[in-house]
Structures are given as structure tokens and as C-alpha cells.
């Protein structure tokens, strides 16, 4: 007799036991399966309904499942955007008693899209470079946290809309390794080269299959290197300036804030003569605008959405200023008289199409275009009405979008390159402060 099913889960969900673990994932009945768009994968990955949410199930070896589960937990603790690990199930057997692979379960990242599902009429150049920009930022954040990915690619990333741009989340941590502190120069360069080659390949594949038009894979994949280097320099470089120019410190902080980061720790050194000062951010934390908005309003949204909403709050404060009303009071007033009426004007059958903060951003854009074409200010109420009728109605549902077979099919990829081989560049690590040389 086979031994009993073994479940290790972050939270106890008894419904997990009701899923047909005695069947290979490929053979699960369709009523269990959530037909959502999915990226390319090596393993069998399928989505299933569990109580009121959706889980992603990956069939793999137990050791790999355990490793990835632990890695995702650590990344979550480090506050890096990634999918949430949920459970590992092992000791599966079919009804004849033959063993079945273990599975790693993560929570389906709501409103996320794999890059292949991003544009039904084909991926456009501007969208492709925005995806790559988001991936560059994710890679910088992972590297700052000491994570070497080893398999950076569009397929291993999920994207959420973020006020006209994208926010990237890590979905596949199988090849990753976490180090104490920051990564070496060589490790970072390695990941970047892997990213460049993988992205070029993925985009060439899209072009060849007719799912993208008008994109240059080499230009876009080189774009990740450029974007990454620019960001890394802004976040880590040493600034040297005359001791009389202390305003440069606040300018550096401000520049980082604009990029969406807060400085948690800054090193400041004055040379022996007292003439020059060197500053370098030691610990930076992403989510500058998102944190501020959360504090002011309780809304938990992506970084660019937060930036957009904060701008709207500022505008509201300007238009409605009165003595004694501080920022917090005005932010709450904005929430109940501006933001919430827009969100609640969306018919309930359309709330799965986009996240509320993204709808709000699109309504603001829509109002701007309406006002421009009419040559006069359009009220928010009129803008919402027109947005729902003319735009939102024709959008597909992105919370639970039913993917086409072209998107949900499983395509077998080659085995990953062992990370030990990828790390060849490690040896040329330089001593001293290399960060400002990037």
C-alpha cells in the first residue's frame, strides 16, 4: 500500500485535500482547472480553483519543490516582488499505487499577465520595451537583496499593469541562489548576460510565430542592460563633492525618491583635509510612493499607480485648500469624494477587467483626452461614464481572463544550465569600491 499524501502548507486550507492528487496534472478534469494565460515552462504547470482563489501547481521533483518554496519565502521576507509560495505536496500515487511527481503550489498572482498574453494583436515595440524596463528594475532589486537568478527571462517573470507601465514579479526561482549582502560584479554581469540572451530569444520566437510585429529583438534586449546599469548607478554610486556643496546630499535623496526608492542608510565620509565629502547609499528600499500612499489613504497599489494617485491628491489639495486642513485630512477627503466614487461607478460585472487603481489611472487619462478634444474641462463623473461605455466594456477580463490555447499550451523547454556553470565570471571580482565604476 502506498504511504499517505504529504502536505506542507503555509496556511491550513482543508480544500487542498479535495483536489485529485492521484491523477497526473495533465489529466485533471477541466472543472478543476482555471483557464488563465500562462508563460512557457519546463514542467507541467496548471492553475486550479481552490476555495475562492486560484493556485498555480507545478509538477516537479520533491527536492526542487522544497528548494524553490524556501527561496520564495526568503524573497518574500526581503520584500522583493515574487509569487507567494503556498504548499508542497509529495507522496502522490495514482490509483494503481505508482508514484507521481511532487508539486510546488504558489498563489496565482491576481491581475498578472505573462508577456505572451500581453497583446492579443501582437506585442508592440513600446510595450516590449516597457516590459523590459520593468524586468530591469526587478533584477536590480533582486541583486540588491543578494539574489542571483540564473535564469532571467520574460517567461520567468509576471507583469502587472502599473499606470501605463508595468510592474514585474519573479515567478520561477528554481535556479536562484541567495547570498549574504550584495552580489559580486561578476555575478551581476552574468545575470545580465543571461537576461539579454534569453529576452532576445523570446522576442525572436514571438516574431517568428507572428505574435509580435515591428520589434527589434536585439535593440530591446540590449535595452535591459542599459536600463539596469543606469538604475544600478543611481542607486549605488559614490558621489564626491566639495564640503560646501551639502545641497548635493538632498538632491541625491530626491533623485532616488523620484526613481521610487527611499534611502534607509547613507554613508557620508569627509576626507582628512575637510574639503571633500563622499556619500553613498548603503541600503535603499523600493516603494517610496507606494508606502506614502498607503500611509495617507490605506490604498496598497503599485509604485507608478501610487505616483499617479499622489499627484491627483496634490491637485485636489490645491483646488480645495482651506486653513487647518492638513495633508492627511485632505487625502481622506479625496479618497471618499474622488477615488471611491470612480471605483464604485464600475459595474460589478466589469471589476475583473482591471485593478481599481489602474481603472482610476485610465479614467484620468480618458478625462484628459476628452477635455482636450472638447476644448473644455470634463467632469470626473462624465469621464467615468464615457470610459465605462466606450473603453472598459471592450476590454477583456484580466483577473480571470480565459486564455487561448496558443497561450495556455505547454511548450517543453531545455533543461536549465546548472548554476555552477553560469557563475564562471566570479573570479574577476575586484577589491575596493567598484560600484561607482558601473
Ligand X SMILES: Nc1ncnc2c1ncn2[C@@H]1O[C@H](COP(=O)(O)OP(=O)(O)O)[C@@H](O)[C@H]1O
| Residues contributing to the site for Mg ion (CB under 5 A) | 41, 156, 172
CB-based closest residue to ligand X? 39
Which grid coordinates belong to 4?
499517505
Residue choice 19, 48, 50, 56 for contact with ligand X (CB under 6 A): 56
Number of residues that bind ligand X (CB under 6 A): 21
Question: What is the number of other CB atoms lying within 10 angstroms of the CB of residue 118?
Answer: 22
* Pair 20, 100: CB distance under 8 Å: no
**Smallest distance from the beta carbon of 190 to ligand X, in angstroms?**
19
Q: Which segment (102-110, 127-135, 305-313, 346-354) binds ligand X by CB under 6 A?
A: 102-110
Which grid coordinates belong to 92?
502522490
Question: What is the number of other CB atoms lying within 10 angstroms of the CB of residue 435?
Answer: 16
- Our CB check for Mg ion shows the closer of 56 and 134 to be 56
Residue choice 16, 41, 202, 422 for contact with ligand X (CB under 6 A): 41
**Smallest distance from the beta carbon of 414 to Mg ion, in angstroms?**
12
CA distance 86 to 47: 13
Binding partner of residue 143 among ligand X, Mg ion, none, CB under 5 to 8 Å per kind?
A: none
Q: Which of residues 127-166 bind ligand X (CB under 6 A)?
A: 155-156, 158
297 binds ligand X (CB under 6 A): no
- Our CB check for ligand X shows the closer of 106 and 221 to be 106
DSSP-derived secondary structure letter, 3: P
46 binds ligand X (CB under 6 A): no
CA angle 30, 53, 163 (to 5 degrees): 110
172 binds ligand X (CB under 6 A): yes
CA distance 374 to 324: 37
Which grid coordinates belong to 148?
542571483
Closest CA to 28 of 49, 54, 4, 5: 49
- Our CB check for Mg ion shows the closer of 41 and 236 to be 41
* Pair 23, 55: CB distance under 8 Å: no
**Smallest distance from the beta carbon of 135 to ligand X, in angstroms?**
13
Closest CA to 164 of 363, 374, 393: 363
Residues lying near ligand X in the complex (CB under 6 A) are found at 38-39, 41-43, 45, 56, 58, 83, 106-109, 112, 114, 155-156, 158, 171-172, 174
Amino acid at each position: 500500500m502506498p504511504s499517505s499524501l504529504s502536505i506542507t502548507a503555509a496556511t491550513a486550507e482543508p480544500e487542498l485535500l479535495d483536489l485529485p492528487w492521484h491523477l497526473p496534472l495533465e489529466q485533471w478534469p477541466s472543472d478543476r482547472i482555471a483557464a488563465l494565460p500562462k508563460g512557457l515552462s519546463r514542467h507541467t504547470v496548471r492553475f486550479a480553483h481552490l476555495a475562492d482563489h486560484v493556485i498555480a501547481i507545478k509538477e516537479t521533483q520533491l527536492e526542487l519543490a522544497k528548494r524553490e518554496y524556501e527561496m520564495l519565502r526568503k524573497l518574500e521576507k526581503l520584500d522583493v516582488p515574487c509569487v507567494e509560495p503556498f504548499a508542497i505536496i509529495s507522496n502522490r500515487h495514482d490509483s494503481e499505487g505508482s508514484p507521481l511527481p511532487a508539486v510546488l503550489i504558489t498563489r496565482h498572482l491576481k491581475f498578472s499577465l505573462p508577456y505572451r498574453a500581453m497583446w492579443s494583436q501582437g506585442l508592440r515595440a513600446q510595450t516590449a520595451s516597457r516590459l523590459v524596463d520593468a524586468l530591469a528594475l526587478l533584477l536590480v532589486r533582486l541583486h540588491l537583496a543578494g539574489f542571483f537568478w540564473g535564469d532571467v527571462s520574460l517567461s520567468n517573470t509576471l507583469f502587472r499593469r502599473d499606470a501605463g507601465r508595468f510592474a514585474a514579479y519573479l515567478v520561477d526561482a528554481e535556479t536562484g541562489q541567495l547570498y549574504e549582502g550584495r552580489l559580486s560584479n561578476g555575478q551581476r554581469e552574468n545575470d545580465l548576460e543571461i537576461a539579454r540572451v534569453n529576452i532576445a530569444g523570446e522576442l525572436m520566437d514571438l516574431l517568428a510565430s507572428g505574435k509580435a510585429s515591428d520589434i527589434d529583438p536585439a535593440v530591446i534586449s540590449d535595452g535591459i542592460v542599459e536600463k539596469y546599469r543606469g538604475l544600478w548607478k543611481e542607486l549605488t554610486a559614490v558621489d564626491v563633492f566639495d564640503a560646501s556643496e551639502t545641497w548635493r546630499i538632498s538632491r541625491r535623496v530626491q533623485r532616488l525618491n523620484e526613481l521610487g526608492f527611499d534611502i534607509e542608510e547613507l554613508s557620508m565620509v569627509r576626507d582628512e583635509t575637510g574639503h571633500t565629502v563622499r556619500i553613498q547609499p548603503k541600503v535603499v528600499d523600493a516603494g517610496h510612493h507606494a508606502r506614502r500612499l498607503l500611509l495617507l489613504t490605506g490604498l496598497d497599489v503599485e509604485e507608478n499607480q501610487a505616483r499617479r494617485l499622489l499627484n491627483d491628491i496634490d491637485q485636489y489639495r490645491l483646488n480645495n485648500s482651506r486653513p487647518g486642513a492638513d495633508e492627511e485630512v485632505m487625502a481622506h477627503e479625496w479618497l471618499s469624494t474622488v477615488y471611491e466614487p470612480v471605483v464604485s461607478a464600475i459595474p460589478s460585472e466589469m471589476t475583473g477587467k482591471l485593478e481599481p487603481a489602474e481603472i482610476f489611472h485610465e479614467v484620468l487619462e480618458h478625462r484628459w483626452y476628452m477635455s482636450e478634444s472638447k476644448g473644455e474641462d470634463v467632469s470626473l463623473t462624465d469621464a467615468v461614464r464615457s470610459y465605462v461605455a466606450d473603453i472598459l466594456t471592450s476590454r477583456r477580463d484580466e483577473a480571470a481572463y480565459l486564455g487561448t490555447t496558443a497561450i495556455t499550451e505547454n511548450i517543453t523547454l531545455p533543461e536549465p544550465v546548472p548554476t555552477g556553470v553560469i557563475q564562471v565570471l566570479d573570479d574577476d571580482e575586484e577589491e575596493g569600491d567598484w560600484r561607482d565604476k558601473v
